[in-house]
Chains A and B, each alone.
Chain A
Amino acid sequence: MNALMSLFRTWQLGIKSLFLHPMRSALTVLGIFIGVAAVIWLLAIGEGISQKAQEQIASLGARNIIVRSIKPPLEKLGDSNVAEFGLLRKDFNLLVNTIPQIEVAIPIREMKISFSFGNNDMDGRLVGSTTDYFNATKLKLAKGRFLSPADVDKNKDFCVLSMGIAEALFPHDDPIGKRVYCPTNQTYYEVVGILRKRTASAGIGGSLAAQDYSRDVYIPITTLNQRVGDVTRRFQSGSFYAEKVELHQATIQVKTMDDVLTVAELVKDALRTQLESGKGDIDVIVPLELLEQAETTRMMFMIFMGLIAAVSLLVGGIGIMNIMLATVTERTREIGIRRALGARQGAIQRQFLVETITLSIVGGLVGVAVGLLCPVTLEWLRDTLIENFPEEMESLPAEVRETVPIIVPISIPVSFGIAVLIGVIFGMYPAYRASRMDPIEALRHE
């Protein structure tokens, strides 16, 4: 109790001494405050970005394996006029029928194409798939219905529009029941449903690059095979190119998460050695693996941020030491008086240490407070920027534009603790210097 009281008095005295030079104390605090706030901000922003990335990966489905056809470079295609590559239907069926852990497998074909209705037209992407596609990609309906299994079975000329296409082609009308025209193939598809807007994200493309869902038109894959066939032609820079692709992508959903990696290995192995398709033109993407990679990246990021923060706190600490050394010299006389009036060396040491620690605690507290303001401040900053520089902001990647910082709870006690620790460590030497002064010399000091 007595010791506590004495500590309290020392602390009280420390505060009074610090208020003798409010400006100097404030500047000293600034060093620590910036360090602590930086730790919290950097980690919050990092966490925000990494959560966004993880959400995107998770939206691919943690139980999914994505088998994606890649167009090989032109010189590899040989003399043939038709670029033939990608996953074959029979291999797809073989995989689905041999691997028992597979729950659902979704074949996908897609092509860039333009759509029109009346006088409106719009470039977009025609996607052929099955009903399961909508579940696997977690697309939501705004109106109407998805394609049904019956539509797929019977090669119906039905389509589901994404909001972007629907708005472009039908600015005033209700699209349901209307027929969208594809000039390239001279085909018509009747609209049965419209999807809700979805922010661009990593899509069926499977790479982590943002994928735009806003211009997709979905039709049954059977219809696509029948109407368009496997070979697509495109007129490009003066000559025709043809591509023969049976499946652009297969999304395989495994029954349990534990099986994902096994099945992925199996699929990769089969593609490498046994199947006809897949001469280096097929990529197998495992979102779970990506998730794990993202976790590793996050750890690296954390360590990196930790280093930056450590450096800034170190600088803050050196700042504190510098100021305290100057303060000790300046207060030599006071030290002499206190020693003459009976202060032991330990008491002097404690006094200066308490002052340093007080500075770093205040710095830490202010830093934590400012750190907690991070989400609010960034939101305000983003709103202001969007308002004043809409085009520049639009050109930024979505990850930057839409990231919401998430404060990592552990960063608060850790950064605060480190700040106080810095105070103790860097306060030690000045306090020691103060305590070792000869009282007679100190009293004589002007």
Chain B
Amino acid sequence: MSNIAVRAENLGKDYVLKSETVHALRGVTFDVPEGDYVAIMGPSGSGKSTLLNLLGCLDRPSFGELYLGTENVATLNDNGLSDIRSKRIGFVFQSYNLIQQLNVVENIQVPLYYQGKVNRTTRKRAIELAGKVGLGDRLDHRPQQLSGGQMQRVAIARSMVNDPYYILADEATGNLDSKTTDEILCLFEELNAEGKTIIMVTHEDEVAARCRRVIRLRDGHIESDLPIEQDRQKYHYSMPTTEQPEDEEEDVAVTQAQAVTSDGFSVGDDELVIGGSSDSHDEPEIEVDIDE
């Protein structure tokens, strides 16, 4: 965990609207080490979206530095940012954002396409990834033939295809029902357990509760940046009763072993887990104390 996936140093963004300058992000500093699973939370207007755009290399900061690995991306031009996005970042969006005219395997390969290296090997990898997210039997389905949860699985497979520094998930469960949300979150947990770095932008506590660490923004500043247990104590919300990351090392070892032996998780595996979780899932107890 010594390597840094992404590091922001005094990262800020101002927007100029007519004569007025809006300070959307007023200089934030944090690290995300490799293998971390971070939730970025905050009410609307807190700079959450701005930070997401900067972390996604969709936008350039007004000041400050942003390192992906060891590379400073704050000063890259449009082409440079495009290349970084295709090689180093995995996106998962709220509305899946698959390309309609492509099937599952092709959609998974899109980031590679823009690196100019789509071939038989990458196709094989895309098929493996599709299997891993439980869509091994839907390889040539088009997005319109898939359910929301399935589309999000394709998006997750796509986010991993370029072996990114981190997966950037933007309200990844926002369009899904609670059962599917749980499935997707389980998938994220599995991936994290395998060592994938995940940054999850969300406004839902129960989603954030399944991460390891929560960064809360308010008015363009970091309000708090705490490991999940401390965050929960500070903001008073309950943890989901299953799949608690009690013992991290063991958990990683177990899931990785499982991944090797069962050559990718099938939908069946997921459903078993969900059955256990949804029984004891008590939503009414959740206290949301974030205003707006």
Contact = CB atoms under 8 A, between A and B. Distances in A.
Interface in A311-367: 333-334, 336-347
A332 to B, nearest CB: 12
Interface stretch (A11-19, A68-76, A115-123): A11-19
A397 B59 CA distance: 73
B114 A440 contact: no
A344 B78 CA distance: 8
B111 A440 contact: no
Nearest to B101: A16
Contact of A342 (B59, B99, B115, B118): B115
Interface in A44-92: none
Nearest to B117: A2
Contact of A340 (B91, B102, B162): B91
A396 interface: no
A410 interface: no
B56 A9 contact: no
A425 B56 CA distance: 34
B114 A341 contact: yes
B102 A16 contact: yes
Contacts of B82: 339, 342-345, 347
Contacts of B85: 339-342
A342 B100 contact: no
A20 to B, nearest CB: 5
Nearest to B116: A6
Contact of B86 (A333, A342, A346): A342
B165 interface: no
A107 interface: no
B152 to A, nearest CB: 14
A17 to B, nearest CB: 5
A439 interface: yes
B110 interface: yes
A440 B91 CA distance: 13
Contacts of B91: 340-341
Given A6-B116, A340-B58, A439-B58, A20 B100 contact: yes
A16 B101 CA distance: 6
A96 interface: no
Contacts of B98: 337
Contacts of B111: 341-342
A336 B97 CA distance: 9
B53 interface: yes
Interface in B76-96: 78-79, 82-87, 91, 93
A247 to B, nearest CB: 81
A334 B59 contact: no
A439 to B, nearest CB: 5
Nearest to A16: B101
B280 to A, nearest CB: 37
A342 B56 contact: no
Interface size class of B (residues with CB under 8 A): 20 to 34
B79 A344 contact: yes
Given A340-B85, A341-B111, A342-B111, A440 B58 contact: yes
Contacts of A337: 97-99, 110
Nearest to B100: A20
A443 interface: yes
B87 to A, nearest CB: 7
Interface string B48-59: 000001001011
Interface string B151-182: 00000001000100000000000000000000
B93 A345 contact: no
A344 B58 contact: no
Contacts of A333: 97
B113 interface: yes
A339 B53 CA distance: 12
Contacts of B100: 20, 334
Given A2-B116, A343-B114, A344-B114, A17 B101 contact: yes
B87 A342 contact: yes
B118 A9 contact: yes
A285 B53 CA distance: 84
A40 to B, nearest CB: 33
Contacts of A336: 97
A16 B91 CA distance: 24
A13 B78 contact: no
Contacts of A341: 85-86, 91, 110-111, 114, 158
A115 to B, nearest CB: 80
Nearest to A17: B101
B101 A20 contact: yes
A338 B100 CA distance: 12
Contacts of A340: 56, 58, 85, 91, 93, 97
Nearest to B90: A341
A221 B56 CA distance: 102
Nearest to A2: B116
A16 B100 CA distance: 10
Contacts of A439: 58
A9 B82 CA distance: 19
A345 B79 contact: yes
A13 B114 contact: no
Across the A-B interface, the 3 shortest Cβ-Cβ residue pairs: A342-B86, A342-B114, A16-B101
Given A347-B82, A347-B114, 13 more contacts: A9-B118, A17-B101, A19-B101, A338-B110, A339-B58, A340-B56, A340-B93, A340-B97, A341-B91, A342-B85, A342-B111, A343-B114, A439-B58
